[in-house]
A and B are shown apart, each in its own frame.
Chain A
């Protein structure tokens, strides 16, 4: 499998990463290498094998439906690059 420049751009767009033209060729080559490595899985006989997503396959842990955390909105908002009046600020989306 070979990965073309358009595919690298599409994947980068999905991941919200920019790729400049100067690095496109090198990156495509590196991704191609990793995908060829992943391609070694093609030789595995996985017919009828159930996928394993997690080591324990345990049921999701449940807890009582009770308040356990105090309101620390100020402490968390203080980490934001920009916030005002208890809200996170981002560039205007709707004109």
Chain B
């Protein structure tokens, strides 16, 4: 049976075919059945009790819908670890804005999903709580950093989950797990209460089965928040109303840079097939060039660590989080608390960022990376003068094996198609686009700032003529 959409579940709830409590119980039971995935860090068994609600006919479509939060969003009274030993026992005294908004819409969180520590990683292998497995093949990674969220949606545990995307952390796991992932425009979703990694790149968003489901959730998450100084002060749009707009005449730029060396044939052909579907719906495909695309990886792996080294300076063992035993001095307290509680990848990025910002290297690394960032943003701005969307594979390969990429640089290189979008602050979506070697492939569409409605519209239209988003892996009880 095809999985139910959020709109269908909302109808079921209103027609009393199912209760919100039953939906929450089903999700909790599915999470237990799929416990081998390690998709959750914390399950909230109180969800079934909280779901005992009356659903009025004019209630939000999300009322009574179960979901999960990436464990990077602060949840009042429920521990929020960011998959780090540093925050293993951290119980926030407040809700993130995203958490508050989804709760206000009536959605019922069943727990917190696993992720790469502090969202640093592309495989979910950097979690203090152990790696997440891909529900399509348990020997493979689900992608990262929002690996638990993508795996939980792909496995049918929840209809949607929140995620965050600093360099691809929503889109890449969505691609690897065969689900839809929306990374909104920078500033469209409040970062308040979302644990910081790289503040000029971090972006909250959603992973769900379809573009339509993403539209419902995104509409509830987005909006101006005075508590986030970088939050965009502009109205949200009618994302659902825009879904049915025709694609006739819409111009999609095929970025040849995104089909370069390293892109598997199976991935390229699956993506081209989806593009032909969009063409059948009336879209016009044109070739474009992004001349500075090769600068994205080096610029990103300077800027993101630089911002991380600054943001993660707050973990000092004094105010909250891990504190080493018996510190001999204040300096010993700082150094040992951080060294004992941060994992290898987090330490690596802090060191790279500290180096890039240190006296004598700032101009050569950080400032130069920021100039490259401008060139990358200008490439997109130039391309969007002649096209409405830009398309390519979300990732060069399908999900790789657990343990396959032990070299950090090999892991970084695989982010080649996603990081430029964050550097420019643009919205993008990854859409299920068929299979290569029986593993899901993602099509990435990129839009100009604040044109999320166009992304969701194109995704919805593609999902009218394809059914990849409805395919589900078989449950494996291992």
Q: Are both chains from one complex?
A: yes
Hey, which bits of chain A sit against chain B, CB under 8 A? 3, 7-8, 11-12, 14-18, 27, 30-31, 33-35, 37-42, 44, 46, 49-56, 58, 60-61, 63, 72, 75-76, 78-82, 88, 90-91, 93
**When the two chains form their complex, are residues A44 and B412 in contact, meaning their CB atoms are under 8 A apart?**
no
Q: Does B53 contact A (CB under 8 A)?
A: no
Q: Which residues of B305-334 are within 8 A (CB) of A?
A: 305, 309, 316-323, 327-334
Asked if residues B367 and A51 are in contact (CB atoms below 8 Å), the reply is: yes
5 A-B pairs besides A38-B356, A38-B365 with CB distance below 8 A are A17-B342, A35-B352, A38-B352, A41-B369, A44-B295
Q: Given the interface contacts A37-B301, A76-B93, does A49 sit within 8 Å of B374 by beta carbon?
A: yes
Contact B351 A56 (CB under 8 A): no
Mark the stretch among B138-146, B226-234, B431-439 that contacts chain A. B226-234
Determine the distance from Cα of A49 to Cα of B368 in the docked complex, in whole angstroms: 9
Bound-state Cα–Cα, A35 to B449, Å: 31
Q: Is A37 a contact partner of B409 (Cβ separation < 8 A)?
A: yes
The 8 closest A-B pairs by CB, nearest first: A55-B425, A51-B370, A81-B323, A46-B371, A52-B374, A79-B320, A75-B93, A49-B371
When A and B form their complex, what is the total count of cross-chain residue pairs whose Cβ atoms lie within 8 Å? 165
- 16 intermolecular pairs with C-beta atoms under 8 Å apart: A8-B351, A14-B354, A18-B336, A31-B351, A33-B407, A35-B352, A37-B298, A44-B292, A49-B375, A56-B232, A76-B93, A76-B320, A80-B320, A81-B320, A81-B322, A93-B330
CB-CB under 8 A for A34 and B348, given A51-B374, A56-B230, A75-B93 = yes
* Partner among A33, A51, A88 whose Cβ is within 8 Å of the Cβ of B318: A88
Q: Is the CB of A41 within 8 A of B372?
A: yes
Closest to B410 in A: A33
Q: Pick the contact of B317: A11, A34, A58, A81 (CB < 8 A).
A: A81
| A53 close to B370 (CB less than 8 A) | yes
* Contact call A88/B319, Cβ cutoff below 8 A: yes
Q: Contact partner of B333 among A37, A51, A90, CB < 8 A? A: A90
In the bound complex, residues from chain B placing their C-beta under 8 Å from that of A35 are 352, 355, 365
Q: Is the interface of A mostly helix, strand, loop or mixed?
A: loop
Would B200 and A54 count as touching, CB distance under 8 A? yes
The answer on a CB contact under 8 Å between A14 and B371 is no
Task: Identify which of A3, A52, A76 contacts B373 (C-beta below 8 A).
Answer: A52
List, in ascending order, chain A residues with CB within 8 A of B332's CB.
91
User: Which residues of B lie under 8 Å from residue A15 when comparing CB positions?
Assistant: 309, 338, 350-351, 354
Q: Name the residue of chain B whose CB is nearest to the CB of A51.
A: B370
Q: Nearest A residue to B355 by beta-carbon distance?
A: A11
Write the chain A residue with the least CB distance to B316: A16
Q: Which B-chain residue is minimally distant from A53 (CB atoms)?
A: B370
Give bound CA distance, A58 to B317, whole Å: 34
B-to-A contact residues, CB < 8 Å: 90-91, 93, 186-187, 200, 226, 229-233, 292, 294-295, 297-299, 301-302, 305, 309, 316-323, 327-336, 338-339, 342, 347-348, 350-352, 354-356, 358, 364-365, 367-375, 377, 407-409, 412, 423-426, 449
Nearest chain B CB to A47 CB, angstrom units: 9
Please give the distance in Å from A95's CB to the nearest CB on chain B.
11
Residue on B nearest A34 in the bound complex, by CB: B352
B301: chain A residues at CB < 8 Å are 34, 37-38
B118 smallest CB distance to A (angstroms) = 14
CB distance from B349 to the nearest CB of A (A): 9
Residues of A within 8 A of B231 (CB): 61
Distance in angstroms between the alpha carbons of A61 and B200 in the assembled complex: 15
> Per a CB cutoff under 8 Å, which of B321, B375, B408, B426 touches A34?
B408
For A8, A18, A39, the residue with the greatest tally of chain B CB atoms inside 10 Å of its CB is A18
In the bound assembly, the distance between CA atoms of A41 and B333 in angstroms comes to 37
Judging by beta carbons under 8 Å apart, are A44 and B371 in contact? yes
Residue of B nearest to A47 (CB): B371
Q: Measured between C-beta atoms, what is the minimum distance from A86 to chain B in Å? A: 13
Please determine whether B93 and A79 come into contact, CB atoms closer than 8 angstroms.
yes
Chain A residues near B233: list those with CB within 8 A.
61
Residues of A within 8 A of B322 (CB): 81
Partner of B375, one of A44, A75, A80: A44
Q: Are B330 and A14 in contact (CB under 8 A)?
A: no
Known: A8-B351, A38-B365, A56-B187. A33 touches B377 (CB 8 A): no
Pairwise interchain contact A33-B408, C-beta atoms closer than 8 A: yes
CA–CA, A49 to B377, complex, Å?
12
A27 to B349, CA, bound (A): 11
- Quick one: closest A residue to B361, CB to CB? A35
Contact indicator B186/A40 (Cβ below 8 Å): no
Known: A17-B351, A55-B425, A88-B319. A38 touches B369 (CB 8 A): yes
Contact of B302 (CB < 8 Å), options: A16, A17, A41, A91: A41
Q: A residues within 8 A CB of B373?
A: 51-52
B370 CB contacts on chain A under 8 angstroms: 51-53
Q: By CB atoms of chain B within 10 A, which of A38, A44, A75 has the most? A: A38
Verify B368–A44 contact, CB threshold 8 A: yes
Q: How far is the CB of A81 from chain B (nearest CB, A)?
A: 4
